[in-house]
């Protein structure tokens, strides 16, 4: 859902998270990843909410917005992530697909050297983590029948119902 206005709890946190991603994208997108020599890509922050949340549509200066009252969200039922902006729909689909699991990449993973978007985003989430003190990069969604999706998580939003994606217990080992 685009053009969202957050109200209530988490509003300031989500705005802060979003502004950090925008700032880091402005700083790094277009520069070259020193590990795989590919250009950094724009990352997008997004939030997964368990269950239904009342949403109100409002119009401000002719622009339609959706207002989410975060006071109606159980803290355990919301989690914040960031990944390549083109992968957000794939991420949502993947976490809702049986057989998908999350893993963390070791610091010396060959995935960082892959000359594709997966390798670039894997390193980029680690890079952004250095600037966002309340985040963790080097995460990977592993799908049984799909591509690997590199992502990062925000640790300043609880989201315990998605704990297996926030703090993966498995380490992804790739020989190439």
* Number of other residues whose CB lies within 10 A of the CB of residue 144: 9
**pLDDT tens figures, 52-62:** 888 999 999 99
Q: Is 176 among the domain residues?
A: no
| Rounded Cα distance, 174 and 73, in Å | 38
**pLDDT tens figures, 118-152:** 999 999 999 999 999 889 999 999 998 878 999 99
| Rounded Cα distance, 106 and 94, in Å | 22
Measured at the CA of 44, the angle between CA 99 and CA 79, to 5 degrees, comes to: 55
Q: Is 140 among the domain residues?
A: yes
Asked whether 109 and 122 are in contact (CB, 8 A), the reply is: yes
Query: Which residue is associated with the tokens 């549509």?
Result: 57
Gyration radius of the chain's alpha carbons = 16
Question: What pLDDT is attached to residue 77?
Answer: 92
Q: Is 162 among the domain residues?
A: yes
| Rounded Cα distance, 77 and 84, in Å | 23
Containing structural domain, residue 145: 4-171
Question: What pLDDT is attached to residue 175?
Answer: 61
Q: Is 86 among the domain residues?
A: yes
In which region does residue 103 sit, left (phi positive, over 0), alpha (psi from -120 to 50) or beta (all else)? beta
pTM: 0.91
Number of domains making up the chain: 1
Write down the H helix ranges in the chain: 11-28, 88-95, 117-131, 163-166
**129, HSE (Cβ side, Cα atoms, 13 Å):** 18
Question: What pLDDT is attached to residue 124?
Answer: 98
**pLDDT tens figures, 44-94:** 999 999 888 889 999 999 999 999 988 888 889 999 999 999 999 999 999
List residues bridging with 140 in a β-sheet.
103, 150
Question: What pLDDT is attached to residue 133?
Answer: 85
């Amino acid at each position: 859902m685009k053009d969202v206005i957050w109200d209530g709890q988490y509003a300031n946190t989500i705005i802060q998270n979003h502004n950090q991603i925008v700032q880091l994208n402005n700083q790094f997108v277009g520069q070259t990843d020193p590990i795989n020599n590919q250009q950094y890509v724009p990352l997008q922050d997004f939030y997964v909410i368990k269950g239904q949340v009342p949403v109100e549509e409002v119009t401000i200066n002719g622009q339609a917005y959706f207002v989410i009252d975060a006071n109606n969200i159980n803290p355990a039922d919301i989690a914040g992530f960031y990944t390549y902006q083109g992968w957000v729909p794939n991420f949502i689909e993947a976490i809702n697909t049986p057989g998908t699991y999350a893993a963390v990449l070791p610091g010396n993973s060959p995935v960082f050297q892959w000359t594709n978007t997966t390798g670039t985003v894997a390193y980029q989430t680690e890079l952004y983590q250095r600037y966002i003190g309340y985040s963790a990069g080097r995460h990977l969604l592993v799908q049984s029948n799909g591509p690997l999706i590199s992502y990062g998580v925000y640790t300043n939003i609880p989201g315990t119902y998605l704990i297996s994606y926030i703090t993966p217990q498995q380490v992804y080992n790739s020989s190439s």
